Amino acid sequence: MDMVKVTLKDGSVKEFPRGTTVYDVAHSISGRLAKEAIVGSVDGKTVDLSYAIQNDCELSLFKFDDDEGNHAYRHTSSHILAQAVKRLFPDTKLAIGPAIDNGFYYDFDTEHKFVPEDLEKIEKEMQKIIKEDLTLERFELPRDEAIKYMAEKNEDYKVELIRDLPEDAIISFYKQGEFVDLCAGCHVQSTKDVKSFKLLSLAGAYWRGDEKNKMLQRIYGTSFPKASLLEAYITMLEEAKKRDHRKLGKELKLFALMEEGPGFPFMLPNGMVLKNELLKYWREVHEAADYVEVETPIILNRKLWETSGHWFHYKENMYSLTIDEEDYAIKPMNCPGGMLVYKTDLRSYKDLPMRVGEIGRVHRHELSGALHGLMRVRAFTQDDAHIFMLPEQIKDEIIGVVNLIDEVYKKFGFSYHIELSTRPEKSMGSDEDWKHAEESLQSALEELGVEYKLNPGDGAFYGPKIDFHLRDSLGRTWQCGTIQLDMQLPQRFELTYIGRDGEKHQPIVIHRVAFGSVERFMGILIEEFAGKFPTWLSPVQVKILTIADRHTDYADEVAKKLKKRGLRVEVDHRAEKIGFKIREAQLEKNPYMLIVGDNEVEEGKVAVRSRDIGEIGRLQLDEFSDKIIEEIGERALSSIFKKNEE
């Protein structure tokens, strides 16, 4: 019998008859693995479990917990969704239906206007399709036949996608029952393998993300191999709704979104306190790390953006205008201005590394459908920094930046993971430069002893990068911090320094952010803390509540003393019952309430109540203010008081 050797992930080698499927290999290892495996990888290429192995190879098997398995599981879920929609609304045309983080979606073109009630009908049809146990079968056609095949099915969007592929391309499809979709794969073996799913929401989406194209209807969903996992995810979504920064931003009067400026948030007084506290902390951290701060203009001329390459490669995302008959643009990023700052003086190798920070306002054109509270806006503040350095300084500077970003994220209680992205297919620069840059980043991460995920080919066109993905209290991840190594802008802007040899050399540049977008980071914090900010970030740190009108003078005196010590204080003088005032202060999420009545006035004390731990007890004002100032000074995440401390 003709045999092939299969090398498994653990290094063991097994022999199988040629043509053995990936599923059969999994089953030979264990029945449980065969049950849980979703897709495999043959010599690095992800394949279906039905894939027949023809040659000696290295084989990996992926479950739902793996990215490859997760993607295939949810990609199949999107096909089941599309099949259900086609059954219920036969005239519907299919656009695209990918797996995404935490779920999937499908875009449809149909005369029927989907409403939330339709989701329940579609779910019932999806359940039928799953029970039908339809096998997912892959088949391929030459490009011309594929176009004809989809045209006969009246699937105009699929025809357009196929026409964009090379003429010699072999086009793959997946069939399940009567349903066929253009698809590269991969998928589970049968519709019955999708155990638990839920359709979540409806949205509009332009075809191919272009607002000049037709608006399609998008249905979002999610799926899991166990009902318990789906229930946990739905619970998390419900909690996320309560924490939605747009809802809390309005309730807590942090920011406003107005039709006069879509995508341009209005920061209200409470929001400015939060933003300024973040920037105050940012400046302290960077001053301690020997950064200097600059500010560059928001509007700069076309010549600058041509030099940087943005005018040719990023213009559709930029706002441009004409001044004195000359083209200008509002900056979408701070980097080119930072290059000009470097050029204001003659630099020596002794001046490097030169660490330059900028809290810069940037503007980028985003499609209206993509706008989302503070998370996706058209104007935001970037906590940029550029480090100009010698080639031999790269590793040490990367270590310094990683440590700085680690310090910042830990201050807010975030955990995170790191991803290293290397040279993409389309890039600028020599092989030697890229090799040195990538090895420097990798060496820095390994010296720090941090775990990281490698993303081959996912770097920027001008250099490799390190990305930091925050994990919040709901388990969601957010890409915020980034470190990008750049060998191209220094060349484009002809940056130089005088080396030890007296000759001119070109510096290397690191672009890096910690918060990323300050506004977006605020949105993340609002949701992370559910609006219950630690005292140092809270717009109002102490709310003084009077029991009766006769306590007003004492309350004002207490407020004056606390404000003198730098605390943010408000007094509620209203003629309302104290229980009502306490409830309102709780809704406002103020960290501390001081209740003053006859006893407090008589003893010269304050009754302290914590938002998070309840009644603390009656304290001397100095005792209270000393403790809260200590808590703020430490930038603590929780109260340093203990309950019922008298």
Angle at 138 between CA 134 and CA 141, to 5 degrees: 135
- DSSP of 142-190: EHHHHHHHHHHTT-HHHHHHHHTS-TTPEEEEEEETTEEEE------SB
User: Does residue 163 have an active-site annotation?
Assistant: no
Q: Which amino acid is at 462?
A: Y
Residue of 364, 512, 581, 589 with catalytic role: 364
41 bridge partner residues: 46, 60
Residue of 181, 384, 433, 467 with catalytic role: 384
Residue of 74, 465, 520, 589 with catalytic role: 465
CA dist., res. 210 & res. 230, Å (int): 33
User: Does residue 382 have an active-site annotation?
Assistant: yes
Q: Pick the closest to residue 475 from 248, 245, 636, 239 (CA basis).
A: 239
> Could you count the other beta carbons within 10 Å of the beta carbon of residue 494?
11
494: left (phi over 0), alpha (psi -120 to 50) or beta: left
User: Secondary structure of 10-46 in the HEC alphabet?
Assistant: CCCEEEEECCCEHHHHHHHHCHHHHHHCCEEEECCEE
Residue of 511, 512, 551, 605 with catalytic role: 511
Contact 222, 198 (CB under 8 A): yes
User: Does residue 57 have an active-site annotation?
Assistant: no
Residue of 83, 189, 217, 382 with catalytic role: 382
User: Does residue 386 have an active-site annotation?
Assistant: yes
* Three-state secondary-structure class, residue 411: helix
Cis peptide before 98 (omega within 30 of 0): no
Contact 420, 445 (CB under 8 A): yes
428 φ/ψ angles, rounded to the nearest 5 degrees: -115, 145
H or E element at residue 269: helix 269-288
User: Does residue 168 have an active-site annotation?
Assistant: no
Residue of 75, 310, 386, 609 with catalytic role: 386
CA dist., res. 459 & res. 222, Å (int): 29
Q: Pick the closest to residue 125 from 72, 75, 173, 177 (CA basis).
A: 177
Q: What is the DSSP letter of 135?
A: B
Contact 456, 422 (CB under 8 A): yes
Non-local (6+) Cβ contacts of 331 within 8 A are 296, 297, 298, 299, 300, 337, 360, 362, 363
User: Does residue 335 have an active-site annotation?
Assistant: yes
User: Does residue 469 have an active-site annotation?
Assistant: no
H or E element at residue 362: strand 354-363
CA dist., res. 617 & res. 555, Å (int): 17
Catalytic residue IDs: 335, 364, 382, 384, 386, 465, 511
